[in-house]
Structure 1
Amino acid sequence: MRMRVEQSVLLVVDVQERLAGVVADGTAAMSEVLWLVRVAQRVGVPVIATEHCADKLGPSVSALRPLLPPSAVVHKTHFSAVSEGGLFRAPEGQRVQWIVAGMEAHVCVMQTVLDLLELGREVFVVDEAVASRDPHDKALALERMRRHGADIVSREMVAFEWLVHAGAPEFKSVLRGFIR
């Protein structure tokens, strides 16, 4: 199965101030998340972001906040973003394909992915855009998500599948602005 603009939603899980500072390669992962958000917006894919216990972990990182309308942010206390139901009430939350990025890979990202899969969603986890405090935990989480049916993909796989072909109206601007 390929990722399609009209079926996709980008889910950014808990890319928050306090988490970004403690995960391994947090700056790099955050940069990849921002890249994905900008590409999604360029091609018309909606973005939903979650914030886990924002009163303790802080809001989404400052670079992400201006990119999202308040209606695209779902607050949660459960590790899985699916558990409290707000994820599906967000704009475009009923889409079938979920492209997932965020923190921490072995906790909130993984539990959300497993629940999305259980509900019959097609899930794509962007390898370089997920992080954990311990790289070993990230590796185990990616393997477990893969075993349960998630596709582990790269950011460029996502972008080029959304674009479909070189004649797509957004192709040149995405190529110039995002593909190095």
Structure 2
Amino acid sequence: MVEEIRKDLSKKVENGDAVSVDYVGKLEDGTVFDTSVKEAAIEAGMYNEMRGYKPLTFTVGAGQMIKGFDDGVVGMRVGEEKTLKIPPEEAYGEYREELSSEIPVDAVDFTPEVGMQLATETGMRGIVTKVSENNFVIDFNHELAGKTLIFEVKVVSLEA
């Protein structure tokens, strides 16, 4: 039994493995944008009591995670901690100007406000980023597009 546990701890994460990780996701300026760790959320001032803070479980290489995160955990062992620096092209892509549109206020039947989230009939989701007297801007880029992401990751469990 002890030998079996040692073997499990020495196993490295591979594509196809089910892995559970704790993580803290930050922007390059240190701003925390997401975490699975309750204490980190409290420290960052983003704690949400409705959220269950627990390790994130996913299948490595199955496309459930951004590429840089998927690739970054490969080779890690249970208990190992690592900092992943993920460029935009391996995260949510570069910011694309063509996904931001200026629309006349009189073309819609609501009053647009900065921060308002909208969805198109095709399911694209955007956020209103600017409002003027006659127009407003809706941005369909992912909120993390164009950003390098820093993840502090710890492998909690691994199933081959």
Q: What's the TM-score, normalizing by structure 1?
A: 0.20
Larger Rg: 2
Greater relative contact order, per chain length (Cα 8 Å cut-off, separation 6+): 2
Structure with greater helix share of residues: 1
Q: What's the TM-score, normalizing by structure 2?
A: 0.22
